[in-house]
Amino acid sequence: MEQRARVAEDVALLGVESGRYAPWDAVVEQLRAWPAFGLPTREHLIADPPPAALEPVSETDARFVDRGAAERAFATTTTVSELLRALDAQPARQLSRGGVALPDGRRLAAAAGIEGDTVDRLLDVASRAGLARLDGGSWIPDVDAAGWLRRPRLERWARLAGAWLERLPDDLLVLLRSRAHAQWGEGLLDFVAWLFPAGGDWVRDRVMVVAREAELLGLLSGATPSTAGAALLVDGEEAASEAMRALFPTEVDRIYLQPDLSAIAPGPLVAEVDDRMRRIADVETLELASTYRVSEASITRALVAGETVDGIRDFLAATSLTGVPQPVEYLLDDTAQRFGSLRVGALDPGVVQGSLSYVRASDAALLEPLAVDPALAALDLVRDGNRLLCRYTEEVLYDALVEARYAVVTEDAVGTIVPPPRHRRAAGERVTSDDTAVLLVQHVRSGAAAEPADTGRAWLERQLELAVKNRMTVVVSVRLPDGSDVEYLVEPASLAGGRLRARDRRADIERTLPVSSITAVTPR
């Protein structure tokens, strides 16, 4: 009681005279006015007893809870890792009203294997741990992200959990620490409402937000703190890590390389092996036993990044529990022989009227499949000797060819193989200035460099033209006046006057949409 009185004195609720505590007149008047605001009277404050003590967690419940909590902690650590990798490849735009832009949100969700509505919450978790940040209106990895990704998964989780603990307000930390081994749920919310009678919904919502993040990190399962969660509250990050250690999946450093060019990891790979596998193969599934797939395109990408065929072969031989199957050997040799045979480059605006990029081949016959490939029809490739010209930028052309499974590389003006455009941009300096004038000038310059005007808009219109021509069903994302995005499943009928007329397949009505509001077109 003495301690509480001193706290009340510190915040000017009580005064001290002759060694006795008494409330100030203004405080008394405020308490008298409480019932008018739906708050308890002074009599209720004095007479209402605290809620019943919270139910302690039994040993049986703890064992069950810990298993589920460990699975959730591992899954969250994995998804945050994948989000950071996806942000490193391409930043995600943050809307002015809050939340990630819809196309970027879908991309991040697909990369991490999660539902789209959890992306913002996981970005918040990463941000509080100092792993992601907003820069110029876009989410990017923070400077510590690369080092964090090289740590064992248990250490990665410990940092996320430690960041959750650090964000707790002192009053809430004291409350949760005193109830670290008891059920939370409605009993905790009732106690919070009794302890902070004037807090209202704000205090309740704050506790619920903290509880949701705790459950995401495996510190809480339903209404029950896990052993690691209790250890974090009482003894800190190191104790929580030790409590979680026996429950986290053991990391492995070996794979099973298959004749079908797939590689199966019998458990979560250690960071060094995982990083190397991602350089030479594509991730197909992200589970406790993840799957990778080696392809001509992935090997080509590795060679561009500085790998050698001999180095890849030696790594696979040392890592694979099944050796290097013959089909993989053939793939390595064939890719090395054909490496650099298809090259994408940029054209200076005006050098070739209406063209911004090209793809060329050492053997002109290699261009024939590209010229007749229906998947590349939207690019409007035009033959010019031993190359095909494109009216879109180098990045658009490269991404389209890679998506169509062609093993292409990019080259500079003198024919030297260089990293793809996106990786070149990611490796350069990022804008950190908050100066609006600087950001505006940079935006104007970037737009001018993409002549003809708005290459991205031209690409969308070309996709819509093809959908009309081929009677394709597509999903169009439309930006509404309030800044939100909505998707329609439509069959385009005509495109004229800056408007798309289409049949809405879900609502079975005809819609007319302004092309200027369409932000994305996805084939269905």
Reported in sequence order, the residue ranges of 91-154 that DSSP labels E, i.e. its strands, are 92-93, 132-135, 138-141
Residue 102, CB half-sphere, CA atoms under 13 Å: how many? 15
Domain boundaries, the chain: 2-47, 59-245, 256-338, 342-426, 455-523
Tell me the pairing of strands 342-346 and 409-411.
parallel
Instruction: Identify which has the larger pLDDT, 79 or 173.
Output: 79
In this prediction, residue 56 carries a pLDDT of 66
Listed residue (133, 129, 128, 125) closest to 87, CA to CA: 133
Residue 6 to residues 10, 17, 45, 170: CA-CA distances in angstroms? 6, 13, 19, 17
Class of the CATH domain delimited by 342-426: alpha beta
- Asked if domains 342-426 and 455-523 share a fold, the reply is no
In this prediction, residue 232 carries a pLDDT of 94
77 token code pair: 């650590």
Instruction: Identify which has the larger pLDDT, 359 or 23.
Output: 359
Mean pLDDT over 29-39 rounds to 78
157 token code pair: 């989780």
Instruction: Identify which has the larger pLDDT, 453 or 36.
Output: 36
150 has pLDDT over 90: yes
In this prediction, residue 54 carries a pLDDT of 63
**pTM (two decimals):** 0.70
Contacts of residue 91, defined as CB under 8 A and 6 or more positions apart, other chains included, come to 135, 138, 139, 140
Mean pLDDT over 375-400 rounds to 87
Q: Kindly report the CA angle at 292 between 287 and 295, in degrees rounded to 5?
A: 160
Q: For 419-439, how does the pLDDT look when each residue is reduced to its tens digit (9 = 90+)?
A: 877 655 544 444 343 444 444
Q: Kindly report the CA angle at 224 between 190 and 236, in degrees rounded to 5?
A: 100
412 has pLDDT over 60: yes
Percent pLDDT > 70 in the chain is 89
Q: Which range, 4-13, 64-73, 164-173, 436-445, has the best average confidence (pLDDT)? A: 64-73
Mean pLDDT over 282-300 rounds to 88
Q: Rounded to whole angstroms, how far apart are CA atoms 456 and 454?
A: 5
Q: Rounded to whole angstroms, how far apart are CA atoms 368 and 371?
A: 5
Please tell us whether the domain made up of 455-523 is placed in CATH 3.30.70.270: no
The residue behind tokens 């002109």 is 364
